[in-house]
Each structure stands twice: as C-alpha cells, then as structure tokens.
Amino acid sequence: MSEPIIMIVDDDNNLLMALRRQLHRKFNILVALGGKTALQKFEEEDAIAVCVADMRMPNMTGLELLEKVREISPDTVCMMLTGNADQATAVDAINRGRIFRFFPKPYDPVLLEQALQDGLRQYHLVRTEKSLIQETLAGSVKVLTDVMAELNPVVFGRSLKMKGWCDTIAAELEYPRPWELSVAALLCPIGMVSLPPDILARMAQGKPLQPLERDLLKQTPETGRKLIGNIPRLEGIAEIVYFQNRNFDGTGFPLKGPTGENIPLGSRILRIVRDLAEVGNAAWPTDVDFELIYRHKHRYDPDLFAKIRQLLAIVDLDQEIPPEGREMDVLIDQLRVNDYLMTNLETTADRVVLTHGNFISEVQLERIRVFQKTHTFREPVQIKRGLRK
C-alpha cells in the first residue's frame, strides 16, 4: 500500500513551497494552488488522507473546497488554516466542513506536524472501521442468504433476479444508497423462516396456498424486520423489508402505517419488482407482466410504476435487442444466431438437439428450424443474448 497523501491547498505559492520543504521528510506532501487545482488532484490520486486548506482563497474559499471534499472523498480528514480566526468563521468551518483541526496564521510548525500525525491516525481509524463494518455486514448478509437458499431455492432464485432489477432501477433513479436496495431485494423473503414446514414444502413445489396460508405469508416481513434489524447498520434495510407488502393506498400489511409517498421508496420499489417476479418466469419482465400486475394498481406508486416499466419491460424480443449478456427465456421461434444456451435444447421426446453452453451458429439455427417441422420442442429455453464468442 502506498504512503498516505497529505494535500495542502493555498493561493500563496511561496507558502506552499515553504510547507513542502518543511514537511516532505516526514510526510508524503502534495500541494495545490487554489481550490480548482485541488479538486483535479482528487481525480488523479486514489486516496488523499488529509486535506489542509487556507480559508481565504479567490474563486473558491477553503470552506467551499472542504465541503466538496466531504462529498467526493468522505474519508479524507479536513483541516483549515486562516489568517482571520474569528469565532464565527471557526464555528462555520467546523459545522459546514466538518473540520478536524483549525489553525490560525501564522501557524506553529510543531503543532501543525502533530496535527497532521493525528489526522493520519484518524484517517486510518476511519478506513479500518469501515473495512471491518463492510466485512461484518457482508458476512451477516451471506449467512441470511445461505439460510434462504437452503430453505427455499426457488424463492431465493427469484430474489437474485429481483436484485438484478433493483440494481438497474437504483442506477437510473439515482437511489440514495443503492446497496441498501440491493440487499433488501435479496433479503425480502427472509421472514419465511417463520412459516410451518408444510407451507414451505408446498411453496417449493409451486403448489397454490390456501387463503389463511397466504395471510401468514403476507405477514412474514415482520419477522424479516426483526431478523435484519438485529444487525447493526441494516436498520434501513429492515424498514424496507417490513413495508414491502404495504400498498400505496394504505391497505396491505402492516394494517397501520404510512401511505402513498410516505412509504419508504425502497419498499415501493420492492412492491413492484416482487410482484413482477411472481407472475413472470423470464430473466427480465415483459410488458405483459406489467399489464398483469397493474390489475391491482392500488398497490403501486403510479409514477414509480411507469418509470420502472420504462426501464425494465421487454416489449418485442424480435425487434428490440436487449442489453449485452441479458438472460431471458424465449420460444424456439425467437432464437437467433449467437444466442448462448443456458439450458439444453431438447424435444418433448427427450432428444437433445443442442446442449447448454453453446452459441447458436447459422448452421445450427437452420438445423433447429428443420427439426421444428417434425418435432415438438420443450420451450421456452433459457439463453443469454448479446454475448460474443
């Protein structure tokens, strides 16, 4: 790992050169003449541990710069130098820029060096804690998903599909914390661990449930919230999971709670994608799937529904080529050259015409068309479209 960088920003080039001469033997020093140059260096460097900025600079003040730094590099420790150390300036800097240290000019070289050491320690502490939290969260989520995969592989497979959809939605809608929506999609069925084994068995076999059993299923998000909520930093995901069956008009589970746009955005998204996953078998929802679930339009945020439909719906597979590498289920007539088979292509008489793991060539497609005249194929078949050999 490279030595952490300390960047000093000022509009006085002589001061910058003096600071670099004073500090370069003890620290990895980078200097920037003004705020614009400093922001460019953040784009060029992987990680700047500490940023020390002068308060009064033309075009962009030190406070304005450090506010931008907090946005683009939240782990960077921010410090400020100023020749006008009035109380109001200091308070504003600390509150708005989250300043770790504040130094008046002329600065004390000994105190500045000590502050930089403290800043580096703070940076390493933040990064270490973040890494630990990420590893802990990843491990906790993996345990829960492993439980679901063992409990009901079909439902877990559906959750994986929903996660892919949610990743697309989050990117397009600029969802504030996309990882939360992604994890919520994976864990939304975790409350099923509270269901009796016979209900789980029928669900795994794809058998219909009785009305009372369906009611029990609708209430499983409460168990899910309790399980997820026990993991630190997943409280927001627990709330998304809890309200996934809450309808936009205020009906559904829980019986009392927010309505309309007061329902968490992640829950409103899950309400749509989960219903889509239940009615369709393809890797991506079709326009017909959206039509089917919209028969219950009271469940959905209408504006959000329209946006998700525009993002995800496949209208005509023959005219619209999906994005690269998209998995889908297609009929035999819809197969194309260069489609990659995810399942065997076989007839109803169990004759394998082409095994999975193959790209369909022009010759093979012609052979399939000939077979269609005298044989009936099992369909749909699962493919990946958009890949290249």
User: Per residue in 197-219, pLDDT tens?
Assistant: 888 877 766 666 777 888 888 88
- pLDDT tens by residue, 139-155: 777 877 777 777 777 77
Average pLDDT over residues 149-174: 85
Residue 61 phi, psi dihedral angles, 5° rounding: -70, 165
Average pLDDT over residues 100-104: 81
Bigger pLDDT: 200 vs 66? 66
CA atoms within 13 A on the CB side of 109: 8
Average pLDDT over residues 116-121: 92
Q: For position 84, what pLDDT does the model report?
A: 62
In 3-state terms, what secondary structure has residue 128? helix
Q: For position 239, what pLDDT does the model report?
A: 95
Helices (H), the chain: 13-23, 35-44, 62-72, 87-97, 109-151, 153-173, 178-187, 197-204, 211-218, 220-229, 235-242, 265-279, 287-293, 302-312, 362-374
Residue 14 and residue 211: Cα distance in Å, rounded? 79
Average pLDDT over residues 277-283: 83
- pLDDT tens by residue, 308-365: 999 998 864 443 444 456 778 888 988 988 888 887 888 888 787 887 777 888 878 8
Q: For position 328, what pLDDT does the model report?
A: 81
The answer to whether 193 touches 217, Cβ cutoff 8 Å, is: no
**Closest-CA residue to 56 (of 24, 92, 29, 23):** 92
CA 140 distance to own-chain centroid:
17
For the chain, what is the mean pLDDT? 84
Q: For position 205, what pLDDT does the model report?
A: 67
- CB atoms closer than 10 angstroms to residue 55: 25
- Which region among 3-7, 134-138, 276-280 has the lowest average model confidence (pLDDT)? 134-138
pTM: predicted TM-score of the whole model, two decimal places: 0.55
- Which region among 2-6, 79-83, 175-179 has the lowest average model confidence (pLDDT)? 79-83
Where does the pLDDT of residue 304 fall: very low under 50, low under 70, confident under 90, or very high at 90 and above?
Answer: very high
Q: For position 229, what pLDDT does the model report?
A: 86
What strands, in cross-sheet order, belong to the sheet with 381-385? 326-330, 381-385, 340-341
Q: What percent of the chain has pLDDT over 90?
A: 33
Residue 79 and residue 348: Cα distance in Å, rounded? 72
- Helical axes 235-242 vs 178-187, angle rounded to 10°: 50
In 3-state terms, what secondary structure has residue 386? coil
Average pLDDT over residues 34-54: 91
Q: Which amino acid is at 242?
A: Y
**Closest-CA residue to 63 (of 98, 17, 106):** 98
Average pLDDT over residues 80-92: 65
Q: For position 322, what pLDDT does the model report?
A: 42
Q: Is 319 left (phi over 0), alpha (psi -120 to 50) or beta?
A: alpha
The answer to whether 186 touches 149, Cβ cutoff 8 Å, is: no
